[in-house]
Amino acid sequence: METVDTVVWALWAMLPAYIPNNAAVLAGGGRPIDGGRTWGGRRVLGDGKTWRGTLIGTAAGTLLALGLTQAAPGVSAALGADLPTFSVRAGFGLAFGAMLGDIGASFLKRRTGRERGAAFPGLDQLDFVVGALLCALVTAPSWFTETFTFPVLVVVVVATPVLHVVTNGIAYLLGLKNEPW
Rounded to the nearest whole angstrom, what is the least distance from the CB of residue 88 to ligand CTP in the complex? 21
Taking CB under 6 A as the criterion, the residue among 85, 106, 125, 139 binding ligand CTP is: 106
Contact flag: residue 61 with ligand CTP (CB under 6 A): no
Per CB under 6 A, which of residues 10..29 are in contact with ligand CTP? 24-25, 28-29
Taking CB under 6 A as the criterion, the residue among 74, 117, 141, 180 binding ligand CTP is: 117
The DSSP annotation for the chain comes to: --HHHHHHHHHHHHHHHHHHHHHHHHH--SSBTTTT-EETTEESS-TTSBHHHHHHHHHHHHHHHHHHHHHHHHHHHHHT-------HHHHHHHHHHHHHHHHHHHHHHHHTTPPTT---TTHHHHHHHHHHHHHHHHH-HHHHHHH--HHHHHHHHHHHHHHHHHHHHHHHHTTS-SS--
Contact flag: residue 99 with ligand CTP (CB under 6 A): yes
Contact flag: residue 46 with ligand CTP (CB under 6 A): yes
Query: What are the residues binding ligand CTP (CB under 6 A)?
Result: 24-25, 28-29, 46, 48-50, 53-54, 99, 102-103, 106, 109, 116-118
